[in-house]
Amino acid sequence: MTGTIRSIFAAALVAGLCVALPATAGVVIQGTRVVYPSQDKEVTVKLSNEGAKPALVQFWLDDGDDKSTPETARVPFTSTPPIFRLEPGKGQAVRVMYTGQTLPSDRETLYWVNVLEVPPKASDAQASNRLQFAFRTRIKLFYRPKGLDGNVADAPGKLAWRWSGSTSAPSLVVNNPTPYYVNFASVSVKAGGKSYVVEEGGMVAPHGEATFTPKGLTSRDAKEVSFQWITDYGAVKDSTAPIGG
């Protein structure tokens, strides 16, 4: 099995003569993030194959190292099945189980779910003029201890924003006093009648800070930040907040 795992992970493409063809992943994760409540024995991640061909799928978690492999990743979780064939139009539920190592009890801990999809090997006739890609998808998994202070939906409203850096090259710092991760779809400010994108994506950790650099902004005149944050269910919400300092 070890050799199979290595060969699956290494299969980024199989090619003879190279012909550019459209390439899209057929295996889709249902949901944009996974929340693992500490009181649950397991959570389920659902996958579906929306492509026209079967795929070999490998599933694992990592602690933030996007270069990790199923053999090198060190996480307090196990998943089953770790490798499976998924037929077109079919679905598969993967069980993720916490193995009990000690994690912080006063805040969420972030891990990443990896799904690697390898298409079936092309026939000899096809291999001479077709590229085949292996697709890896990563989404966040939040391990959420029981009894955390406050509510995850209220966390974005508790963020504190302030300016940092020089007036000509300002940075926007966000402080998160809550035990929850806050994930952003976008962050922007308005100054001089113009809107400046501060960040597309990004997040701030529990009881932590994140620093963003507005693109093209050369003053700290903006007094308010507009940001879109992402809920547990993948919905995007709009919020505004004052900028201090």
| Domain 7-13+24-144 and domain 152-244 have a common topology | yes
Q: Domain limits of the chain?
A: 7-13+24-144, 152-244
Give, for all 245 residues of the chain, the pLDDT tens digit.
Answer: 455 445 454 444 333 333 333 445 789 999 999 999 999 999 999 999 999 999 999 999 999 999 989 999 999 999 999 999 999 999 999 999 999 999 999 999 999 999 999 877 766 555 555 556 788 999 999 999 999 999 999 999 999 999 998 888 899 999 999 999 999 999 999 887 888 899 889 999 999 999 998 888 888 889 999 999 999 999 999 999 999 86
In 177-232, where do the E strands start and end? 182-191, 194-199, 203-204, 208-212, 224-230
Q: Phi/psi class of residue 143: alpha, beta or left (left: φ > 0; alpha: ψ in -120 to 50)?
A: beta
Nearest to 118 by CA among 66, 67, 48, 57: 57
The fourth-level CATH superfamily of domain 7-13+24-144 is Immunoglobulins (2.60.40.10)
pTM for this predicted structure: 0.85
Third-level CATH fold of 152-244:
Immunoglobulin-like (2.60.40)
Contact assessment for residue 51 and residue 28, using Cβ atoms and an 8 Å cutoff: no
The pair of structure tokens assigned to 120 is: 């079936």
Radius of gyration of the chain (CA): 22
Nearest to 192 by CA among 225, 219, 173: 219
Location of structure tokens 């007036």: 167
Contact assessment for residue 77 and residue 98, using Cβ atoms and an 8 Å cutoff: yes
